[in-house]
Structures are given as structure tokens and as C-alpha cells.
Structure 1
């Protein structure tokens, strides 16, 4: 008697998968095809996932070179060979699928402009981000949509405005100065020249800064989160054949169990800090006005719908901590790598910093005058932007230029491709040349809307002022005290793990100025 029921259940499951993984995607592809958008033919269940894996395996997974004088910044052909192949075959707009995810891949500058200027709530963050990176980001400001996103933006963005960031400069300078003491000690103990692994120093500095800004006097309790966030990031980017399939994040694989354990530990640590703060407030002992306090108050004031106040606070703490820690630390590392491999620009920045700061620590007015350093930061973020893709989803049928994007289609705007387009940036688009920003972004690029280091439009990164000021402070503190070059151990190996980062670490040969 059980056999007919089992057969019926199997048949129902097959029909459901057929509808979700094939029929729905076929309808979306058909609507795009009618508008001239083509792409590689998918397979049932996996979409184009198997082809992506096959193409990827035929290439090296990272560009590795020890040529310190001529580093290659054109990593797309090795990190994303499938996208480069399809771009040549189908043009600067093409479609492909990952399981039940239908994606429109965009490298067309005009379409990029339409996307960045679009203010419609119908073009939101992809639900894929919440599903794929939920353990790291949850439903915070980086992944949410609609009214809840608007409320988060109104709560958080004002606290990261330039006026507020100016008040954080002394905190940033104090935290960055710890690098000087550490490196000076190493140099003195090693006879005047030291080989220093910069990775952990940059992460520690960024963690110290964002912990103080986010958690105030409770910052020391948050420093243990550094390694856990890194471990979650690595686990989430582990390659798997199941990626794109509905429910694969719920399969109790060894990697998923590791992610669940780390997520639980992060949740527990953050909520412990939040609980202590709430207790202080109830006892009228809490008078801190850090970001955590603003988020707690935002959870009380907003209409969160099914979103609990506890999850609202937790997810936004995770968003801010990850963005303020990892993306800024990695951007600082790319700054050091590029200045180490271009000593003439390192010398120019140092001369500017010493002239403006007079050998002392930078303040707000000094940072504003650092034009060369600003140009270097802008160029580094052009070549190695924190986000290689701007990911959006059509939450309703939406018109972008002449193209009608059907509801349910995900759009991946290729930031790294746009940032290297010679039609926009000139024939040296793949080279490090900060001089292009001498007259700002408008003077550097034919279409300024395609400079997307921090995104663009309504969803532009709320922390862009914070990140830019922090990078300039780190460079000012380091360059005014040290000169550095790349170690013979350094291998240039960009790898994509949510953000683009050096795969083999960053070893520098450091001397005191």
C-alpha cells in the first residue's frame, strides 16, 4: 500500500523541481531571448553550473607571478574564464543560470548607467545574497529590500556621514598607530630591515577601528570575532557542485555544519554584547551613542514586520562588522601591494604626507589636503574594488533603457569589467596610473557612473566616507614612518572569496624612513 504513495510523492517532487529548475527559468529566458539576449544553453537541475566548473578547471584558479615590477591586474580571464568566454560569444549582455537562478550578466556601460541611476524599489538586492551569504550577512542593510531596507538606511547612513566620520578620525589614528609600534619593534630586533607579513596587521587594525565605532567601550569583546568571520567567509566560498540548487544550504554536509557552528558562535557573541548594553540602558547606566546604540534604537522605532528586533540588531551588526573589517583591511593590503610595486608613487605619497603632516599624526584638515594619496586610493579601488559584482534582482518587471527585465531575473553588473574597459578609461585601463584621477572621477572616466568602487545610486555604500578616510589614515601613518617593497616570497595571486583578495598573503620588506 505504501508504494503508490511513495510513487506519487516522488512524482510530485519531480514536477516541483521541473517547474522551479526548468519551466520557470525557460519562461524567463524566453522573454529575454525575444529582446535579443542570448546565452549558453543550460542543463536540467544544474543550469550552466557544470559548464562553469569545466571551464574553470581548464584554467588556473589564480594568477600567480613573482614579477614584482609588472604585476598583472587583469585577473578576469583566470578567475572568471566562463564569463569572459560567454562575453566574446554573446556580447556585453548575456544570460545564464545557476540551478533555479536566472542571471543577466552586464558589462554594457549604458546598461550600467541605467542601473546605477534607477531609484525604483522594483530593482532590489538579490534574494540569492540572503540565501548564499546569510550566515555572514543575514537580512541587514547590505541584503534587504523595501521598507525594512529604507528603515535600516535611515538609521545607519546618518551615523556614517562625513560629519560623523570626521569625529572618528582620532580613534582611527590611535588604532592605526599600533602598526608603527609593532613594525618598529620588528625592524629594530632584525637589524634595521624586517620582512613583515602585513595581512594580520591590517585585519587587526581594521577590526580595532570598526569594533570601537560599532561597539564602543565593549570593543574588546568583539575582537574575537575576527577569526570567526574569516572562517565563515572561507567556508561559504568553498566550491560545491550543489551551488544554485534549492535547499543545498540546509544539507548537513561537513562544510555546512562548520558554517552553522560558526554562525551560532558569532550570534552568541554579538547578542551577549547587545544584552549587556540593554541591561545598562535599563539601569540608566548606558550613555554611549555608538553605532550599536543607534541600531538598538532603530529596532525599537521601526515597523519591522516579521523581522524580530533581536535579528534586526544582530544582522546589522554582522553587516557593519564584516564590511568595516574585511573589505577595508583587504583594500589597505592592495594599496600596500601597489605602492610597493610602484616606488615612484610610494615616494610621491610619502613626500605629500610628510609635507602636510610635518612628521606628526594626521588630522581631518590634513587628510582633506592629501590629493595624491586620494588619487592612489581611487586607483586601487578601481583595479581591486571591494565588490566585483553589483548584484540586483528584478522584484517586478522593470524597464532599464530599452530592455524590459522580467520579474525574477537576477542581474550581475560586472564592476571589474567596467573598471578595465579601455573605451571608458583609455588604453592603459589595466595599468596602475593614479594620475588619471587628478581631476576626480569625472575627469578619469568617460562615463563616471561606471566607477563603482562603492556602488552607485540609492544603494551606494553607506560606509564609503568611513572606508576612504580609514584607508588614507592607514597609508599616512605607514608611509610617514616606513618604506617598503614586496618580498621575494610574495606571489601575486588575486582570488575571489566574496571580495577579491591576495590568496597567498602579503609579505613586505620594511625599513624605517
Structure 2
């Protein structure tokens, strides 16, 4: 038996050595490629922090981040500009090198672009060679599959052709009744909370309740009445998002690989993954963490497909049964010969995960930020309340009245300016491309930090860090010097397809809540924006709420 252990260790050791050798070989090639890309950018006058051998600017980024955390403001101070705490390296480098500079994370070369004119060009670029960064997409595969949020090229174009029409405004307006209905449990819960406190005031944590609302809307829109299984899917997606975001997926993961290695000693089996970060530094990671991600991914896929098939059979049994969103998307996929019948299952499962994540999580977070800002500004609660009363009377909002809520729209637009859930527009040059007078080499990743663009005093004025919805009184085109600098839903053809759905949901949330309640920030609220794939309240949003 001991001899068997010995040879097992030898075979495992040889496997690890071969893996390391292969990885080092690939890493050298990728590092040389990154150097060539960097020199091409430098030759055009694009400068940036000097990279170190192998790790690029990663060590500097980590150092700047650590310093920022040590100097962070007290959490009870509400400072709207969170870029210096969440992304301090971008802030520091922007002061040193301007709005365009290059930096590297190991074997990956990046280009930071926060200039309004270039963002406009990005907005107009329709080339399929301008896609999502592949190294991030690989890391997000368990959460998003090969759905529309992470696919590129013709695959993405085919998906957009099928999915986009289902989110046109005429389709979204049909869902307004469903949204209003989904708000009723939340309203009753808050009313019960106030009643339990003597009918005066209650302390409510709104972010989880808002997740419940958006989950209800997406589950009903996608799966009809199959909400119980939809709720289970949401729960597992949230766990999967948390597991992935803990792995620092944003930077430092390029050219990585892994090999499993099993050691059995004294009847105890130990599993390891040997993981290479940036194709250079190898470390041992317990297999348990990777297995958690894999298990959640498979469980979610199974639940989604079971629900789709169950809903499909019900539609066949009752011709009058209204087809839900995902059934319509499935039909579109089956009818599109370019997708193919064999690919329809992965198409619907992957895009269901995309719709869940984007339509549920991002909208709930945006609504949480809206309520936080309105809690700080009760005068805007009064203005919204008066408008809702004028437009809707004693009735709840409907598909016609929603489009007339101008003040509500201004509040939402300003909240999305200060706290856009998506922090970045990220693109990769899948081929060499031209952006302005810059030639961007193939493989370079372009990053635009949205909150920085949204707070640029030269674009928005001296009050750029203040909550002033009135700046949108004449629409986005008059709100700032360069309207193309307002990009809460992204840019170009890859603009968020769920924009209409998100805006209508947010209008319903604010109109109903403010017409029934008045609120201020709770003393328990701690202001701590945190980047977890999207920018969300790190400790939730707690408010003191009372009936109007």
C-alpha cells in the first residue's frame, strides 16, 4: 500500500511539473505579446504607470487599494464620489496621466479611456471586433453561460436579434400590471412593520425587499406563475455571484489554467487545484471552492430547463395560456435557423441566467440607491408624491400614466448618474481597431469608468457630486455639456437590452412607495458602496419609514 502511495505521489508530481512547464511557456509568450501591445500604445504618446516584470501593475494596484482602505471615510458619512475608495488606482493614475493611459495586469494590457469624445466614438462603433473582454467572460461563464452579456461576434449578434424585440417598450408596457401586482406584498410588509411598531415608524432594510420585488417581476414575466422555482433559481444565482466576486475576477486573471491533484494519506483524501494567476504565479486552492461554483452552475441550469419545459407543456395543453417571455425567446431561437435546434437549450438556459442577473440584481440595486438618495432629500419625495397624485389620482400607476411621470424619471436619471450599478464599459479589441486617432492593437482591453465620467465637473458643472435631479428637467441632451457622457446602461450596440424594463420597474417602485410612505435614512445605515460585479450598498440600505 505504501508503494502505491509513493507512485501516486510521483505521478501527481510529474503532472504538476508538466503543468507548470506548459504554463510558464504560455506565460512567456503572453508576456512578450503584452509588451509589444504596450510599445505600440507608447509609440502613439499613450503613457501610464511603469509595469514590473511578470505582474505588470498588479502589485501597485493592490498597494494603492490597501492605502485607500486605511484612509477610508467613516461609513456614516454619505460621500457620493466612491471612486477613490472602490477604484483608487484609476483615480491616482488619472491625476498622473490624464483621461487616457495604459497599464497592465500581468500578461494583459489595458487602455483606460474616460474622454467624452472617445466615448461617443465607442457609442457609434458597430464592429463585431469590439467585444467583451474574453478573460473576464471566461470567469463569468458559470454565472452567465454564453448568453448575450458575455458572448461576442456572430453568436452575440444572433442572440440580440432574437432577444431585443422582447424588450421593446410596447412589450414592456404590457408588464406594468404585473409589476404593480408584485409591489403589493412589499407594501403590505412595510405597513405591517409600521403597525407592529405602534403605527408610528419602522426601521426597514429595503435592499432585500427590493430584490424580492424584482425577482417576482422577472419570475412571472419569464415563467408565468412558476415563482417558487424562480425564487430558488434567484437564491442560487445570488450565491454563485457571491462566490465568483470573491475571486477578484476583474483584474489579474489572464492566461490562467488549473490541474486537479489528489493525495490520499492515512485514509484522508485531500483535493487541490493548482491555479495559475496571470499565467505566472501558481498557488494551491482547495477544490471545495471550485466545486461550489460548479455545483451551483449545474443546479441553476437544471432548474431553469425544468421550469422552461414545464411551462412549455402547459402552453401546449391550454392554447389560451399566455406565453411568457422565455417561451417567446425559446420560439425565436427554434425559428432562427442560424442558432439550430441542438443549440436552443443552451441558448435559452444561458440567456435566462443573463435576464435573471441583469433584470433582477441590477434593478434592485438601482432602486436601493434611489431610495437612499430620496431619504436624504425629503423635498424630492414631496415633489414625486405630488406628481403621482396629479397623474394617477387615487389609482395605482398603469401603462399610460407611467410615461407621464416626468419628476420620477428625473430622480431615476440622477440616481443612475451618481450610482450606476454597472461601474464600467469594458471592451476588447478582438482585431486591431481605430478609436479616434488611436490605433488599438488586437487583444488590448478598453475600460471606461462610468462613475468618473458621470462626475466630471467639466461635463456636469461644479455641482457634479451633488444630487440635483433638476439637471434632467429638459432631458439628457440638456443635462450636461456632452450628453454622450451619460452612459448608465452602457454604450453602442451592446447597450443594455433591458433598459426599458429597468426604467419602468424603477418608476413603479418610486411611484408606489412614495405615494404611501415618507422616509429618512436610519441611524443604522452605513454608507459603503462596494464593487461586487456591480456597485451595491455594501451594508444594505436601512430607512425609517412611516405612512403618509
DSSP 3-state at the match of 1:393: strand
Which of 287, 301, 304 does residue 267 from structure 1 map onto?
A: 301
Q: CA deviation at 1:124?
A: 1.5
CA distance in 1, matches of 2:15, 2:243: 39
DSSP 3-state at the match of 1:501: strand
Structure 2 CA distance for partners of 1:168 and 1:249, relative to 1, 3 Å: farther
Contact residue 334 and residue 340 of structure 2 kept, 8 A: no
Which of 17, 31, 39 does residue 27 from structure 2 map onto?
A: 17
User: 2:268 corresponds to which residue?
Assistant: none
Deviations 1:442-493 (A, max 9, x none): 1101111111011222111111111001000011110111001111000111
**How big is the alpha-carbon RMSD for the aligned residues of Structure 1 and Structure 2?**
2.4
- Does residue 510 (structure 1) correspond to residue 545 (structure 2)? The answer is yes
How does the TM-score come out when normalised to structure 1? Answer: 0.93
User: 2:116 corresponds to which residue?
Assistant: 109
Corresponding pairs, count: 508
Q: CA deviation at 1:12?
A: 5.1
CA distance in 2, matches of 1:126, 1:411: 8
CA distance in 1, matches of 2:62, 2:402: 46
- Does residue 119 (structure 1) correspond to residue 126 (structure 2)? The answer is yes
Q: CA deviation at 1:132?
A: 2.1
> What are the equivalent positions in structure 2 for 1:283-432 lying under 5 Å apart?
287-302=321-336, 303-304=338-339, 308-432=343-467
Q: CA deviation at 1:288?
A: 3.9
User: 2:213 corresponds to which residue?
Assistant: 205
User: 2:253 corresponds to which residue?
Assistant: 244
Structure 2 CA distance for partners of 1:280 and 1:138, relative to 1, 3 Å: same
Contact residue 530 and residue 536 of structure 2 kept, 8 A: yes
CA distance in 1, matches of 2:15, 2:513: 70
Q: CA deviation at 1:31?
A: 0.9
Structure 2 CA distance for partners of 1:31 and 1:286, relative to 1, 3 Å: farther
CA distance in 2, matches of 1:483, 1:4: 67
Contact residue 373 and residue 415 of structure 2 kept, 8 A: yes
User: 2:63 corresponds to which residue?
Assistant: 54
DSSP 3-state at the match of 2:539: coil
CA distance in 2, matches of 1:162, 1:30: 46
CA distance in 2, matches of 1:99, 1:295: 40
CA distance in 1, matches of 2:83, 2:111: 18
453-462 vs 474-483, which moves further: 453-462
118-127 vs 273-282, which moves further: 273-282
Structure 2 CA distance for partners of 1:311 and 1:452, relative to 1, 3 Å: same
Which is greater in Rg? 2
> What are the equivalent positions in structure 2 for 1:425-464 lying under 5 Å apart?
425-464=460-499
User: 1:42 corresponds to which residue?
Assistant: 51
Structure 2 CA distance for partners of 1:495 and 1:436, relative to 1, 3 Å: same
User: 2:192 corresponds to which residue?
Assistant: 185
DSSP 3-state at the match of 2:79: coil
Structure 2 CA distance for partners of 1:301 and 1:45, relative to 1, 3 Å: farther
Contact residue 139 and residue 315 of structure 1 kept, 8 A: yes
Q: CA deviation at 1:324?
A: 0.8
User: 1:194 corresponds to which residue?
Assistant: 202
Structure 2 CA distance for partners of 1:349 and 1:280, relative to 1, 3 Å: closer
How does the TM-score come out when normalised to structure 2? Answer: 0.88
CA distance in 2, matches of 1:284, 1:185: 38
Contact residue 184 and residue 512 of structure 1 kept, 8 A: yes
CA distance in 2, matches of 1:9, 1:413: 36
Structure 2 CA distance for partners of 1:427 and 1:10, relative to 1, 3 Å: closer
Stretches of structure 1 lacking an aligned partner (at least 5 in a row): none
CA distance in 2, matches of 1:127, 1:279: 37
CA distance in 2, matches of 1:366, 1:456: 29
Structure 2 CA distance for partners of 1:100 and 1:283, relative to 1, 3 Å: farther
Contact residue 393 and residue 410 of structure 1 kept, 8 A: yes
Contact residue 204 and residue 542 of structure 2 kept, 8 A: yes
